[in-house]
Amino acid sequence: MRAALIARQFDVQGRLVTVEPYGSGNVNDTYLAIFRTTFSEQRFIVQRIRKAVFPQPEVIMQNMRVLTDHCHAKLEAEADRSDRIWQLPKIIQTKAGEDWVTDAQGDLWRAISQIASANAFDRVQNPEHAYEVGIVLGHFHRMVSDLPPERLGYALPGFHVTPGYLAKMDAALATPEGQERLEASLETKRAVRFVEARRERCQVLQQALERGDLTLRTTHGDPKVGNIMVDEATGRGTCIVDLDTVQPGLVHYDIGDATRSACNPAGEDAAELASVIFDLDLFTTIYRGYQSHAQDFLSQADHRHLFDCIHLIPLELGIRFLADHLAGDVYFKVRYPGHNLRRALVQFKLAESIETREAAIRKVLGER
């Protein structure tokens, strides 16, 4: 097994016991490697970063090195004043002292420490969990608020630039294959009409950035509920993982993605679209947790665009799923034909639910 051969190249004591698939990510291949000596055991994560998805995988690791060096130093400096033990994965170097291994196909493999005695959940479990999701993201944003985004490269150029995804959907629709998939399904036609009715709203955050109302910062890029680790002993959030998409961006995209994943109790693969709603109580709890750490660095202009990001991110993700469906499922992993279309419909239903709750959401955000 290739993952086992790769795992042996990292600087870990002991002999390899096993390498097993781990997690449920939609993009990268992830494994849990276990090494043992006669008196100890070490578990760590081995991941393949696909060059087909990330054209410059080296940038991911360079960003991860900058980020973890910055955050580990701050976590240590603040440890005695903290209400919990905060963590962040550490890069495990190869036996040659490198941060990654490149295979014959050009894919990059890395090893990172496992956050022990902690779990992540694909859906919010209860209000306490929702509060911790907000706290962890707020803490992360505070930790990186003084990390200049200029020190980071773009691991995914165009990531979370919604008009760019809209252009990809248009390009997929313009192909014979895209037209064939469009005509094959009434649901696909309905999804395209949904996007067309909201085309102008896709520009709102990018236009605010271009006007100078919003500024680029260091962002996580994918702070969904499944990337928030919760301590088994205390029930408190301890870490945010999956740092592949760390790069310069708008913190609004992070806030929108966290609320998108946390405030839909039915989940991304909801069996019934009627079950997909934006839970206002969960949102209120998450936002309160986020504000407890992040209130000092958000500007008035940032606050003015918070509803925009909460609405835009499910719409954007739905567009990405729809574009991939039209293109033949070339980006996201799928489990069955039409999986990406189903994912798109769930996100569009969530965006619609947000629209119906706009006044209530703005009230929670403190708008008058």
Q: Which domains does the chain have, with CATH numbers?
A: 1-114 (3.30.200.20), 118-368 (3.90.1200.10)
pLDDT (tens place) for every residue of the chain, 368 residues total: 689 999 999 999 999 999 999 876 556 789 999 999 999 999 999 999 988 788 889 999 999 999 999 999 999 999 999 999 999 999 999 999 999 999 988 899 999 999 999 999 999 999 999 999 999 999 999 999 999 999 999 988 999 999 999 999 999 999 999 999 999 999 999 999 999 999 999 999 999 999 999 999 999 999 999 999 999 999 999 999 999 999 999 999 999 999 999 999 998 999 899 999 999 999 999 999 999 998 788 889 999 999 999 999 999 999 999 999 999 999 888 999 999 999 999 999 999 999 999 999 999 999 75
Helix (H, G, I), strand (E, B) or coil at 135: helix
| Cβ partners under 8 Å of residue 207, min gap 6 | none
CA distances (Å), 296 to each of 1, 81, 139, 143, 248, in order? 49, 18, 11, 12, 20
Any idea how long the chain is?
368
Q: Per DSSP, what are the bridge partners of residue 112? A: 45, 91
- The reported pLDDT for the residue numbered 290 is 97
Residue 294's pLDDT is: 86
Q: What's the one-letter identity of residue 19?
A: V
Please tell me the distance from the alpha carbon of residue 191 to that of residue 199, in angstroms, as a whole number.
12
- In this prediction, residue 67 carries a pLDDT of 98
pTM over 0.85: yes
Distance CA 154, CA 137 (A): 21
Q: 55: Cβ–Cβ under 8 A, 6 or more apart, which residues?
A: 157
E strand or H helix that includes residue 177: helix 176-183
* CA pair distance 336, 214, nearest whole angstrom: 40
Q: How far apart are CA 314 and CA 303, in angstroms?
A: 19
